[in-house]
Amino acid sequence: MKPAELRPQALRDQRGEIRFYRREGGSRLAVAAASATNTALDQIERDPGIGSPTLGERLGISGLRTWRVAKFPLLWCYFERDDDLDVVRLLGQRQDLAAILGDEFAAN
């Protein structure tokens, strides 16, 4: 098991999604979104290789994996490191993922 280390932007993404679901659907939906995002993180901590490398390969971002949050159109984006998981973003599947991640990693 590898602990998930969320970058500040990933934490902001998660909080923003929970606020969005609270605003759009109320507290019950926000709690469900929070629980689902945490459950997805637990899954990748237990089995880091479970995430798909497809988006990272398409964008030329070596090692980037994604894992879908159950029942929500959200993806955790992360890198598996020797001792932990470097969680970089939580993004909505309807967002322009290529533009967001491409811009973020263009300087790296």
Q: What is the pTM assigned to this prediction?
A: 0.87
Question: pLDDT tens digit string along 42-81?
Answer: 999 999 999 999 989 988 899 999 999 999 999 999 999 9
- Which stretches within the chain are classed as H helix? 8-25, 27-46, 54-59, 97-106
The answer, yes or no, to whether residue 100 has pLDDT greater than 90, is: no
Residues 6+ away with beta carbon under 8 Å from 36: 69, 70, 71, 72, 74
Query: Rounded CA gap, 68 and 61, in Å?
Result: 18
Positive or negative, the Cα torsion across 59, 79, 29, 72? positive
Average pLDDT, the chain: 91
How many folded domains does the chain comprise?
Answer: 1
Share of the chain above pLDDT 90, in %: 81
Split at pLDDT 50, 70, 90, the class of 107 is: very low
**Domain of 34?**
4-106
CATH of the domain at 67: 3.30.2310.20
The answer, yes or no, to whether residue 108 has pLDDT greater than 50, is: no
CA distances from 73 to 46, 70, 86 (A): 22, 8, 21
Residue 82 DSSP code: S
Residue 68 confidence (pLDDT): 96
| CB of 54 closer than 8 Å to CB of 46 | no
Among residues 4, 1, 3, the alpha carbon closest in space to that of 90 is found at 4
Residue 96 confidence (pLDDT): 64
Split at pLDDT 50, 70, 90, the class of 92 is: confident
Split at pLDDT 50, 70, 90, the class of 95 is: low
